[in-house]
Amino acid sequence: QDQLVQSGAEVKKPGASVNVSCRASGYRLSTYGLTWVRQAPGHGPEWMGWIGIKNGDIKYAQKFQARVTMSIDTSTITAYMEVRSLRSDDTAVYYCARCLSSFGLYGMDVWGQGTTVTVSS
């Protein structure tokens, strides 16, 4: 069964960085695209960015461009997302999700279980 397994919950202080991992199981990571989405408490999902693994293309939502880096380690079939200069409003559940196409942003058919990141002093 195709799965995405994410790293565990994190508690960080304002100004720190966090690295969330997302490991693919049961399928070839390079065949699909991968999206990162976050959801703040009581809010809807917010699209953060996408990696087209086949061609190495990466798209970031403009609001995250300066503070977020997405990457892939194909040898370990793991995707990573680093968020720097954390603020209290970065407190959210962070999800990775597989896209049906290696080129398109649509059709997120497999989701990770989510990683809770809490930013608090």
Partner 1 sequence: DIVMTQSPLSLPVTPGEPASISCRSSQSLLHSNGYNYLDWYVQKPGQSPQLLIYLASNRASGVPARFSGSGSGTYFTLQIRRVEAEDVGIYYCMQGLQSPGTFGQGTKVEIK
Question: Which residues, including other chains, have CB under 8 Å from residue 14's CB and lie 6 or more apart?
Answer: 86, 87, 88, 119, 120, 121
Contacts with partner 1, 63-102, as mask; x by CB under 8 A: --------------------------------x-x-xx--
- Using CB atoms within 10 Å of the CB of residue 6, give its burial: 0 to 12 exposed, 13 to 18 middle, 19+ buried: buried
Check binding of 15 to partner 1 (CB under 8 A).
no
Q: Does 46 bind partner 1 (CB under 8 A)?
A: yes
Instruction: Read off the amino acid at residue 121.
Output: S
Q: According to the binding rule CB under 8 A, does residue 27 interact with partner 1?
A: no
- Cβ closer to partner 1: 16 or 71? 71
The residue within the footprint of partner 1, chosen from 67, 111, 116, 118 (CB under 8 A), is: 111
Q: Examine residue 44 and tell whether it contacts partner 1 (CB under 8 A).
A: yes
Decide the pairing of beta strands 92-99 and 78-83.
unpaired
Distance in Å, CB of 3 to partner 1, minimum: 11
